[in-house]
Amino acid sequence: MTTLRLAIVGAGPAGIYAADIILKAERQFDVQIDLFEQLPAPYGLVRYGVAPDHPRIKGIINALRDVLDRGDIRIFGNVRYGVDISLDDLKKHYNAVIFSTGAIADADLDIPGIELEGSYGAADFVSWFDGHPDVPRTWPLDAHSIGVVGVGNVALDVSRMLAKHADDLLPTEIPENVYDVLKASPVTDVHIFGRRGPAQVKFSPLELRELGELRDVDMIVYDEDFDYDEASKTAIKTNKQVFVIDKVLNQWRQRETGSASRRLHLHFYAKPVRVEGADGRVTGFTYERTRPDGAGGVEGTGEMRTIPMQAIYRAVGYFGSPLDGIPFDEKRGVIPNHEGQVLDDNDQLVPGVYATGWIKRGPIGLIGHTKSDAMETVGHVLTDQASWWTPAEPSLESVNELLDSRGVKYTDLDGWHRLDEHEMALGEPQGRARVKVVPRDDMIQVSRGE
């Protein structure tokens, strides 16, 4: 019987779903799957890209854990593609590879002053408060007034974490160093800026509601933003999500404010113009007031407004990173592909190389999209048998031998179970679900039983 030896690079939802779908698919051949993950722990952005006070979203991990715990997928953690293992190595040991490396870098916001000290990418901040092992343990939270540019769920996550009182995060899996820095934050005001109106935001009603539940934080919205045009009125009438968002925002308009120690301001119709600065540091944010253009978009009014602040976070999207030896679209931040089949510079299919998840389609869509996305890619993997590679060393042991020969301290599924149990044990005395181990070396030592 023919055997498909498949490597998947990236053990987040996209990679795990792809492995699960292949193993459950009708097929005429045997399948052996190895998942390679650069971090010592799996789950990607579900572990390192979701705010710690989101237990419902964290529940996705339970479904991913069930897939891995079946035992029919091998996982090699702490293995970096392009450093510890190459495309030539994969060709030597596998018939094909699926890249599911996601998008973890911040998209650019091309305005003057964005490079000033005190200007940050939201993705970097999320990685820090989620205890990502490859970012610094400290974060400069010394601003009283902070701006967040963007109206997606990440912008609301960042704004909530900045405005929320640190003690209210104690029941979560927030790392100790993150709690200490947030506890000392002098913040009083967080400002969210969106280029269009309330009916065109990208965040979900659930995220918005959670924002309004913060203790000792006033929600400030401005009446001038609610003079809706016909397109906005139609969106509110015909789209349930937009209807709920409008309802929540209008409820906030009726709230009494002024008693809380912190304030969260939502500014709509605010097009970023520049970050103000002095002595190399952020001192303010200037935006142009916009208005509906009658065609579903906005146009500038020429009216400029500046709000003093000492820090600004851009939450305008994630961006993929290039992979060694793999075609890359620098403009979109994705691997060029046709339905997951990777394309070269001449738009020709690259044999044996596939992509799924955000590195395939860009950082859009929720977990449900990731499943359907993986099904499309997997469909081609299963029917492309004629273009599979012919590995010189296809045995299971050969991969372990290769990594051992290079001194790679890789972790496996048993190692993840050890780390998982260790983190839960750390949290138990405090009544918490877990306390994350943050330093990479510590994660590896616990995983490897050292």
**Each residue of 94-124: pLDDT tens digit?**
999 999 999 989 999 999 999 999 999 999 9
- Segment 371-377 mean pLDDT: 92
Q: Give 167's DSSP letter.
A: G
CB 94 within 8 A of CB 5: yes
260: pLDDT confidence band, cut at 50, 70 and 90?
very high
Residues 391 and 251 occupy one common structural domain: no
pLDDT, tens digit, 9 for 90 and up, residues 62-95: 889 999 999 999 999 999 999 999 999 999 999 9
Residue 448 lies in a domain: no
Please indicate, yes or no, whether residues 221 and 158 belong to a single structural domain of this protein. Answer: yes
Q: What range defines the domain where residue 204 resides?
A: 106-315
Specify the range with the lowest mean pLDDT, choosing from 10-14, 57-61, 123-127, 351-355. Answer: 57-61
Q: Is there a contact between 183 and 166 (Cβ–Cβ < 8 Å)? A: yes
In this prediction, residue 98 carries a pLDDT of 98
- Average of pLDDT values for 338-350? 96
280-332: pLDDT as tens digits: 999 999 999 999 988 778 999 999 999 999 999 999 999 999 999 999 999 99
pLDDT beyond 80 at 368: no
Residues 216-228 pLDDT 10s? 999 999 999 999 9
For residue 187, give both structure tokens.
Answer: 């913040």
d(CA 15, CA 29): 21
- In the block, which residue shows the tokens 């851009």? 314
pLDDT at 267: 98
Report the DSSP beta bridge partners of residue 276.
284
Would you state the pLDDT for residue 58? Answer: 66
The pLDDT of residue 40 is above 80: yes
Percentage of the chain lying above the pLDDT 70 cut: 99
Three-point CA angle 67, 73, 78, nearest 5°: 100
Q: What are the φ and ψ backbone dihedral angles of 79, each rounded to 5 degrees?
A: -120, 115
Q: Domain of 399: which CATH number?
A: 3.40.50.720
* 130 and 35 in a common domain: no
Question: Are 54 and 111 found together in one domain?
Answer: no
Cα(167)–Cα(430) distance, integer angstroms: 13
Structure tokens at 392: 């010189």
| β-sheet bridge partners, residue 149 | 193, 314
Q: Is the per-residue pLDDT at 27 higher than 70?
A: yes
Q: Model's pTM, two decimal places?
A: 0.93
When pLDDT is averaged across residues 153-166 and rounded to a whole number, the result is 96
Q: In which band, very low, low, confident or very high, does the pLDDT at 432 lie, cut at 50, 70 and 90?
A: confident
86, 7 contact by CB (below 8 A): no
Domain end call among 285, 315, 345: 315
Residue 44 Cα to chain centre, angstroms: 8
Average pLDDT over residues 424-437: 90
CATH for 311: 3.50.50.60
Does residue 424 sit within a domain?
Answer: no
Q: Which of 268, 290, 315 is the last residue of a domain?
A: 315
Domain finish residue from 315, 340, 362? 315
**Same domain membership, residue 116 and residue 64:** no
Which residues have CB under 8 Å from 387's CB, separation 6+? 349, 351, 352
Alpha helices in 184-264 (DSSP H): 205-212, 230-238, 240-253
Label residue 41 by pLDDT band (50, 70, 90). Answer: very high
Q: Are residues 289 and 325 in the same domain?
A: no
CB atoms within 10 A of CB 134: 10
Same structural domain, 121 and 69? no
Assigned domain for 48 exists? yes
pLDDT of residue 69: 94
pLDDT band at 158 (very low <50, low <70, confident <90, very high): very high
